[in-house]
Structure 1
Amino acid sequence: MEKTIVQPRFKDSPHFKDFWTKGNGKQLIDFSGAEISFDKFEEFAPFFYHTDEAGDNVVKDVYFTKKFHEASAEIEHYIRNGVSEDDHVPDSVRKLFSQTQKKPEWLDYNLLKSGAELCMRSNLDSLISLRDYCLIGGYDYAYLNKPLIVTEALKKGAVKRLSETLDFWVNATRCDALEIHAKGYEFAIKTRLIHSYARLSIKKHYKDWDTENWGEPINSWDMMATYIGFSLVFLHSLKKLGNTFSNEEEQGIFHLWKYVGYLLGIPENLLPDDKKQATEYFYLWTSIQPPSDKDSVLLAHSLLNESMENPILKFQFQRKNLRYLHICCTWFLLDDEVCRRLQIPDVSNRNVFPVTKKIINKIYDNLINRKSRIERGNKAQLKVLEDYLRITKNSNFH
């Protein structure tokens, strides 16, 4: 069968042009100094049909040959103890761990530390950015969401999905978390194998998967876009909320997610080094994505209504207020067109909270020293994660 040649099929569509000429895309270009063009499109396009073969082979050899809990225990043993030349393990396991245990030449621990410290220093703004810009904004890309829909993520519920995302993000962004055998490293390997397990399951059970249009399930190009969400889009959101960051912290964010991407099996040439590169890569990828569809709207509303379902806050009025605040931030951070496509409810005085937050951040930046802010932010983020894990980990929540 002849390989499909991907084209920038939506480059002349209003949603694409508006985003890059007057929306957040235009802001990203101004923020990064990117020089956008389609010159490198053919270099990136094949990755729409490229997947993590090393991860898939481990899943076939380990998860598909024994009970799930046995396979998970075996993988945890490899993660925590490593795999040496003398160990009797499947070749696929040896190959994957020889890659993840080998530190790339470009790895810079000072930059990893700077990136982690910015994530913590930004306190709850980091979590607002992830939820109300990175996650919900990602739902506007209809093809990107298809694996979530076909694996019935909606049935799991937004509270559980948010808890898992938060667990991964927090554990990957602490200082020294990505040392081999440390918690962030463990989350990266497990996430990589979850992606492979989901991809192989989709290919086996979901006969209507439209490879030509949607690409391979959880393909390398989509993975690149997702991790640009954690770096470029995340930084842009912090900036919108009035946070400042040094050049080293900015470089650190890209370096941190480049290394996480490396551990996750994303090809290195897809992992941007800085905001200019990330914006140019993101521009190419968005040209193959249509705007929101009905599945996008369902995912967005599931996330918006998470505040109402979540029992962390005891009283109904508290939950309603939290939902309102997230809606305000979503309108503030995303383009109005995107919000309308995702059918985000319009609410009164929607700029009051984010603009107030922006002013407070600028004052706070001048009053509190960096070290204290990192400590406070770390503590606040760990508290939010602890609350989520408490209600989801040892329960039948959704």
Structure 2
Amino acid sequence: MLAKPQFYNAPHFRSFWEKGNGKELLDWANITIDIQDFDQFAPLYHQYDELADDVVKETYLKMPYKQASSLIHHGASNRISVDDDYPDILKEFFMQMQQVPVWLNRDLANAGARFCMRSGTNALIILRDFSLMGGYDYAYLNKPLIFTGILKKGAVKRLKDTLEFWIGVTRENALEINSEAYQLVVRTRLMHAYARLKIKSESTNWDYEKWGEPINYWDMIATYTGFSLVLMQGLRKLGLEISEQEELGVFHLWKYIGYLLGIPAVYLPENRQEAVKQLYLWSSVQDQGDEDSVQLARALLDENLENTIYKYPFQRKMLLKLHQSMNWFLLDEDINERLQIPKVGIATAFPKFIITANKIAQRIFSLDDPEKYQKLVIRGDKDQVQVLEDYIKHSPKDFRY
């Protein structure tokens, strides 16, 4: 079974890449993409992290939860060697993750991490209102969320988990072997495997031809492109300047994160040209947003009203309108309409305020002055961590993997 670019000539594909945010990406990358290159990546749609699946089969699907969790925690927090008295499949899994690739440039990855930090709450707005909400318009990408019932668990919890992962892995030197961020990556990788196995064992109507394998390599690459390429595109819209070193650093950081999550490194993009090409070719297998997409979008909007971080209903309603204004500023008009995102009056007022504030901050804290730049990094990190702490405090504590 091999994926086909079945939506290459579909109106939603052409609109995005010829008139919308896709055209902006093509212009930024300054490339022309040949659809004939599709076959180079098509096998990834039916390939997945088999090693992680095998680990889950031998632990969480065989042992009591506490026993399995203890084994995983030990392997994630300690160096594992071939001589250890440890299950063979776990030994293989952790020794693979502990093998630092020769291509890893820690200085470059840290440049990407510093950019993620100095972008402050701007990054959180883009991740939510551009990357995540825009991703809901890819109908097939979101099927695992529907089939695993994650939608029913609430957007507050889902946002907290995503925010915790993103902040955890995008700090300087965060991904040292056995660090807290490394352990978070281990849990996330196995959570993906657990969800995939559950879908394959319990869902008789999963459409492999249309949707590929659940949580396949190509979908994962597209998802992490949302954390790199699309994040930077959105931040540019908000007036943030990005140096060449920062840009390459973000891609390098996510290449390493993707490697730790089990994706073959040879397919992970190293620059915006490779990332735009990947996204273009992958999106040709994705139908436009459907009813499930609308439900996901509605749940994300309703999270503003459900979250108890703000005490009073009027504060929550105001926050909802601010996020809706960002959706309409950042996303293509037809995507907002498909996702049924209500339009608010003076939709550009809040985005214009943010853009002005960012330009002023960049003039005051010159990006060319290392001392001033570091102040932006420290302030941005503090703001992001504060938002995460608020979400942790106000989220249900029922996580299992």
| TM-score grouping bracket, smaller chain normalisation | over 0.9
1:211 aligns with 2:214: no
Q: Give yes or no for contact 1:150–1:202 (8 Å, CA) kept in 2.
A: yes
**Alignment match, 1:334:** 331
**Alignment match, 1:386:** 389
1:371 aligns with 2:374: yes
- CA–CA distance in structure 2, aligned partners of residues 395 and 181 of structure 1: 24
**Alignment match, 1:313:** 310
1:272 aligned counterpart, secondary structure: coil
2:279 aligned counterpart, secondary structure: helix
Q: Give yes or no for contact 1:142–1:292 (8 Å, CA) kept in 2.
A: yes
One-letter code aligned to 2:379: R
Paired residues for 1:104-253 under 5 Å: 104-253=101-250
1:295 aligns with 2:292: yes
One-letter code aligned to 2:319: L
One-letter code aligned to 1:192: R
When the two structures are superposed, what TM-score results if normalisation uses the length of structure 2? 0.96
- Residues 17-60 of structure 1 show CA distances to partners (whole Å, capped at 9, x for unaligned) of 01000000000011122321113211111111101011001001
Distance 1:321 1:78, change over 3 A: same
Paired residues for 1:66-81 under 5 Å: 66-81=63-78
Unaligned runs of 5+ in 2: 366-371
1:358 aligns with 2:361: no
Paired residues for 1:50-89 under 5 Å: 50-89=47-86
2:142 aligned counterpart, secondary structure: helix
Distance 1:395 1:55, change over 3 A: closer
One-letter code aligned to 2:280: Y
One-letter code aligned to 1:64: L
Q: Give yes or no for contact 2:3–2:212 (8 Å, CA) kept in 1.
A: no
- CA–CA distance in structure 2, aligned partners of residues 195 and 220 of structure 1: 11
**Which of 14, 29, 33 lines up with 1:32 in the alignment?**
29
One-letter code aligned to 2:302: N
Distance 1:395 1:227, change over 3 A: closer
**Alignment match, 2:5:** 8
**Alignment match, 2:368:** none
One-letter code aligned to 1:37: D
Shift of 1:85: 1.2
One-letter code aligned to 1:324: K
- Residues 61-83 of structure 1 show CA distances to partners (whole Å, capped at 9, x for unaligned) of 11111112321121011010121
- CA–CA distance in structure 1, aligned partners of residues 363 and 169 of structure 2: 28
Unaligned runs of 5+ in 1: none
Shift of 1:5: 2.5
- Residues 219-241 of structure 1 show CA distances to partners (whole Å, capped at 9, x for unaligned) of 01100100111110000000001
- Residues 154-211 of structure 1 show CA distances to partners (whole Å, capped at 9, x for unaligned) of 1110000000000100100111111111122111111000000000010001111111
One-letter code aligned to 1:343: Q
User: Alignment RMSD, CA only?
Assistant: 1.1
Q: Give yes or no for contact 1:34–1:277 (8 Å, CA) kept in 2.
A: no
Percent of aligned pairs sharing the same letter:
49
Shift of 1:395: 7.2
2:315 aligned counterpart, secondary structure: helix
Distance 1:394 1:154, change over 3 A: closer
Shift of 1:289: 0.1
- Residues 315-364 of structure 1 show CA distances to partners (whole Å, capped at 9, x for unaligned) of 11110111111111111111111111100101100001001211111111
What is the total number of aligned residue pairs between the two structures? 393
- CA–CA distance in structure 1, aligned partners of residues 241 and 183 of structure 2: 31
1:95 aligns with 2:92: yes
